[in-house]
Amino acid sequence: MKFFGADYYPEHWDRETWRKHVELMKNYGIEWVRIGEFAWSIVEPTDGVFDFSLLDEAVSLLKDNGMKVIMGTPTATPPAWLVKKYPEILPVDYSGRVRSFGSRRHYSTNSKVYRDYALRITEMYAKHFGDSVDAWQIDNEFGCHGTTYSFSEADRKAFIEWLKAKYGTIEELNRSWGTVFWSQIYSDWDEIVFPINTPTFENPHQMLDIYRFMSDSSIEFLRLQADVIRKYSSKPITHNFMVDFMDIDYRKMARYVDFVSWDNYIATEVYDPLRQSANHSLMRSLKHAPFLVIEQQPGRVNWRQRNENYSASHLSMWTKQCYLNGAMGVMVFRFDQIRFGAEQFHGGLLDYAGRVTKRLEEFSKCKAELGETVIPKREVAIYFDYEVEWMHRINHVNRDFRYWDSLVEIYRAVKRLGYNVEFVFSDDELNGYSLLIVPYALHIPEEFRMRISKFEGPVVMTCMSGVKDERNWIVERAPQDLIEEFGVEVMDFGAVKNIEILAPGKRLAGKYWVDELRVCDASVIGILNDGTPIITRKMGMGNGASRYYVGTVLDEDGWIEILKHELEPRIVGDDVEVSNLESEKVWTLERKLMGVLNLKATRNVAFVGGRKIDLEPFQLLMLEG
């Protein structure tokens, strides 16, 4: 990996302490440092008065010590004076309440006043630093704390403009939104309001457009900043994406950054290493390219109900997992550990007294151990769409269902069989993959349906797929091409809690949803207790490959059973992650490389092929096939 680094806040320390810190960075191999992204009130202490001296000194010190600097624009934290002067820049939450100053992300991207101030400070940064820094991060964690969504008057006005651009006429909007239902026909654009605190369910077509608009607003805000920076700097631009985050269409946003970065924090109250891996994979898939972990959880965080203090060897394992999933670098958040502020209990690589921790030592060791950036091979593709995630939120048949969580179950199943997963989007080419899974894909654009037909390997499609059009209307019938491709038609459907499926020699568990299938041209390979078909297989499609249809939501074990029809298990073992790698350095046609990472803090055993593998705690083993 190229980037070993850490996030750092010079404004939190005096100059003398900087020098101690930078000395330690150098000693422990920290080469990339991100700074500046919360420094607005330092740089512009009052309206229009700019002072870059602190950042200048910090950049000089870092550069003088041979480090690379990623400069963050500070727009995630508008200063107090700006909020006082223009309270209308504050966002409004879905309950209609203004979100106040006092933490961070307290702005609406659609406030014109805010945009002007944000672009002015961005331009000042860009003009001032130009190419003297090595990369740029725009803002910080767009959408964190639910801030993708704001419902102020500025947002409403912007939404109406967005709708005008999309629909042209109010009549076209009325048709598309089905406003004839419940007498919601608009006679004028300005009648459109956000459905905040409606007595009951909102218009599902309007809701989908709201999700799109809010995502687009963040993307537009990023794009405007990127354009400003590019006027003054040739250095690459990125933004730090988040774990398990679905409010912004990252695929779309990724177009406007030069490389993808993300913040690798444990996503769930109960730590699940393969869920983190699924996020790595999604981030890699956004551009189908190596990515940067720009914030790596160091150990304890401060924002959970219970903030566990993970051992230093955890940080080591996490770093190896980043590597194994195609990261080109890891930067730990944060180098220093501070005594004040809302994150005072967040861990760092130093302790509160500024002493080196085992975490810094372990991280430093990783740098020595890990080689060049590796690239996981294309093996299994899972179809993914941010808009589908939004559709699943709206008026669902089963409100217990969570799209991403159910995809993670599939991800885990594939990985436990020893295969890589890449996520594919509707405009992705499918060459190189050996198996395609199309799960819970409420809407599938025609473009991608055609790719499915042409796909030469086996395809597994599930319930809920192709049920909606791009307006979020239910389709009259499933698209004819899908019916023919899979040999089944979904006649009706409904929610379930749990169902039992009888597959040859095995009982599987289904949940959330059950289809009522008409089998036109396929074998039945799974039935319900009353004999109804629920899983089917059609042979001889796409160059002889099979087409599977699964009319319910399987759990991880059920997925393993279905996938075993096509994927020979490569590994037997628990709590290990396998990654099959290629890279300029390690991959030749004759030479296969498999990385096996022990996810446990204790010794572990796995079998790869017939071979027994002994693993030390958190050990990463590179096997040649």
Write out the binding residues for a second copy, residues 130-189 only, by CB under 8 A.
Answer: 144-147, 177-188
Any binding-site annotation on 303?
A: yes
Q: Which of 4, 142, 155, 204 binds a second copy (CB under 8 A)?
A: 204
Phi, psi of 610 (to 5 degrees): -95, 5
78-86, 211-219, 518-526, 570-578 -> range binding a second copy (CB under 8 A): 78-86
Is residue 266 classed as helix, strand or coil in its secondary structure?
coil
Find all residues with CB under 8 Å of 253, minimum gap 6, and list them: 142, 215, 218, 219, 222, 239, 241
Answer yes or no whether residue 41 interacts with a second copy by CB under 8 A: yes
Nearer to a second copy, 352 or 607 (CB): 352
Contact track, a second copy, 353-392, x by CB under 8 A: xx--x-----------------------------------
Rounded Cα–Cα distance for residues 261 and 140 (Å): 11
Rounded Cα–Cα distance for residues 31 and 335 (Å): 12
Nearer to a second copy, 65 or 179 (CB): 179
Answer yes or no whether residue 575 interacts with a second copy by CB under 8 A: no
Nearer to a second copy, 60 or 302 (CB): 302
Rounded Cα–Cα distance for residues 211 and 357 (Å): 43
Q: Which of 14, 53, 95, 431 binds a second copy (CB under 8 A)?
A: 95
Q: Which of 1, 21, 34, 74 binds a second copy (CB under 8 A)?
A: 74
Closest by CA position to 249, among listed 59, 406, 391 = 391
Nearer to a second copy, 346 or 378 (CB): 346
Catalytic residue selected from 37, 44, 141, 577: 141
Taking the complex as a whole, the smallest distance from the CB of residue 205 to a second copy amounts, in Å, to 7
Counting Cβ atoms within 10 Å, is residue 544 exposed (0-12), middle (13-18) or buried (19+)?
A: exposed
Find all residues with CB under 8 Å of 507, minimum gap 6, and list them: 500, 501
Strands 552-554 and 261-264: unpaired
Contact track, a second copy, 464-503, x by CB under 8 A: -------x-xxxxx-------------xxxxxxx------
Q: Is 161 a catalytic residue?
A: no
Q: Other CB atoms closer than 10 Å to residue 323's CB: what's the count?
A: 27
Q: Is 123 a catalytic residue?
A: no
Answer yes or no whether residue 313 interacts with a second copy by CB under 8 A: no
Rounded Cα–Cα distance for residues 243 and 279 (Å): 6
Give the C-alpha distances (Å, rounded to integers) separating 171 from 159, 194, 205, 353. Answer: 17, 19, 15, 65
Rounded Cα–Cα distance for residues 208 and 203 (Å): 9
Is residue 5 classed as helix, strand or coil in its secondary structure?
strand
Taking the complex as a whole, the smallest distance from the CB of residue 135 to a second copy amounts, in Å, to 21
Site size for a second copy, by CB under 8 A? 110
Nearer to a second copy, 146 or 609 (CB): 146
Span 245-304, contacts to a second copy by CB under 8 A: 299-300, 302-304
Q: Which of 22, 33, 73, 77 binds a second copy (CB under 8 A)?
A: 77
The amino acid present at 360, given as its one-letter code, is L
Catalytic residue selected from 31, 44, 295, 379: 295
- Whether the CA torsion 325, 329, 334, 335 is positive or negative: it is positive
Answer yes or no whether residue 97 interacts with a second copy by CB under 8 A: yes
Span 234-253, contacts to a second copy by CB under 8 A: none
Nearer to a second copy, 196 or 289 (CB): 196
Any binding-site annotation on 162?
A: no
449's tokens = 């349906």
Span 505-524, contacts to a second copy by CB under 8 A: 514, 516
